[in-house]
Amino acid sequence: MSITPYLLYEDVAGALKFLARAFGFRKCGAQMSRPDGKINHAAMKLGDDLIMMGYPGRKYKNPKRLGQATQSLYVNVYHVNAHFERARKAGATILEEPKDTFYGHRRYGAEDPEGHQWYFAQEIAKRSKPKKMRKTSP
């Protein structure tokens, strides 16, 4: 079973460019356009995972215009610190710098230009318990 998020964007073409530059997504499959030529449906992949996006119409207001988050995505990546640097350099709004969590992930939070919140995380290697020191004979 898999779950595929479908995100709504006022500017799907802009989202495609930003998500590729900042987070490393790559375009996937055919895109659909409106009669005016603007993209109204597209898909992207990060690793083997898929997201889809679309333009729902003129009345839609993205989270940035609403002034509040409407959802957040939690994405597992390799090398979360390097991923964070890429996003920061690409101009993502940083919500949270990379930090270790109590549940065993290192994660950071970022926001795309339309206000969708993204959290990228990496599992922290489990620390082995220190071995008890053995007494040695003199």
Per-residue pLDDT of the chain (138 residues; tens, 9 = 90+): 689 999 999 999 999 999 999 999 999 999 999 999 999 999 999 999 999 999 999 999 999 999 999 999 999 999 999 999 999 999 999 999 999 999 999 999 999 999 999 999 999 977 555 555 445 554
- List all residues 6 or more positions away from 100 whose beta carbon is below 8 Å from its beta carbon: 106, 124
Q: Where are the beta strands (DSSP E) in 12-134?
A: 26-33, 39-46, 49-54, 72-76, 93-100, 105-111, 117-123
3-class SS letters over 28-61: EEEEEECCCCCEEEEEEEECCEEEEEECCCCCCC
Q: Which two tokens stand for residue 118?
A: 């993204």
Report pLDDT for 2.
Answer: 83
Global pTM exceeds 0.75: yes
* 30 phi and psi angles, rounded to 5 deg: -80, 145
Candidate CATH numbers 3.40.630.30, 3.10.180.10, 3.40.1480.10, 3.40.50.300; the one for domain 6-55+70-123: 3.10.180.10
Report pLDDT for 129.
Answer: 53
Matching residue, tokens 């071995």? 131
Domain boundaries, the chain: 6-55+70-123
